[in-house]
Structure 1
């Protein structure tokens, strides 16, 4: 099965100048945990709910003054619509990510592939491998 059949179609993305308070409100409204960040028609990063908590709140920073660029994970990992779900699983395992933006042949953002999408469309064995890889505890 290819990624296009398993992904959530459509994806919202924000500019690096979007206030994080607006991003948090989007996440709450749409019940999502990650939003891609784009600039000049290119993906440049990703903001997860974890990024908001760990990068925006510590050290007395004022969340009301922070923008996406201040808390996003720079660099972007993604998959393509025509790749197999197995390829995406191995990529997610390797990068230890739970969500991937999906781009089409024209390099346009067309969807998101999440751990839950994978669990509904891949074999139990492959889904289990992915969960084990991305859910492992962080070592200090």
Structure 2
């Protein structure tokens, strides 16, 4: 099965200079746990609900003035629409991540592939193995 068959078709991302208050509102409205962050037409990182909790709320930063670039996880791990779901799963296991932005052949963001998407598209055994791998305790 290809990633394009399992992914959630949602090409939403936020600019690096977006205040985290707007990002949190968008995540709440759209029921999202993560959003890719872009700058100058390129993806530069990912911001998650965990980033907001640990890097903004816990540090008592002002969400109105704190920008995505300041609290995002830098770098971007992604997969392509034409890759197999199994390859994407191996990447998620290796990097211990639960969500992957999906890029098309023109390197444009066209969707997201999450642990939940994989659970719905593949066998329970495969989804369970991935869940276990990405939920492993960090040493």
TM tier relative to shorter chain: over 0.9
CA RMSD in angstroms, aligned pairs only:
1.0
Task: Say whether 1:106 aligns with 2:106.
Answer: yes
SS of the residue corresponding to residue 24 of structure 1 reads: helix
Mean alpha-carbon deviation: is it higher for 129-138 or for 23-32?
129-138
**Unaligned regions of 5+ residues in structure 1, if any?**
none
4+ long deviations beyond 6 Å: none
Whole-Å separation in 1 of the counterparts to 2:71 and 2:77:
17
Task: Tell me the SS of whatever aligns to 1:61.
Answer: coil
Segments of structure 2 that go 5 or more residues without pairing to the other structure are none
Equivalence for 2:69: 69
TM normalised by structure 1 equals: 0.95
Distance 1:135 1:62 in 2: 30
Q: 1:46 corresponds to which residue?
A: 46
| Structure 2 CA distance for aligned equivalents of residues 101 and 25 of structure 1 | 20
Q: Structure 2 length as normaliser, TM-score?
A: 0.96
Q: CA deviation at 1:36?
A: 0.4
Determine helix, strand or coil for the equivalent of 1:63. Answer: coil
Query: 1:21-68 deviations in whole A, cap 9, x for unaligned?
Result: 000000000001000001111110000000000011223322221010
Aligned to 1:110, the other structure's residue is in SS state strand
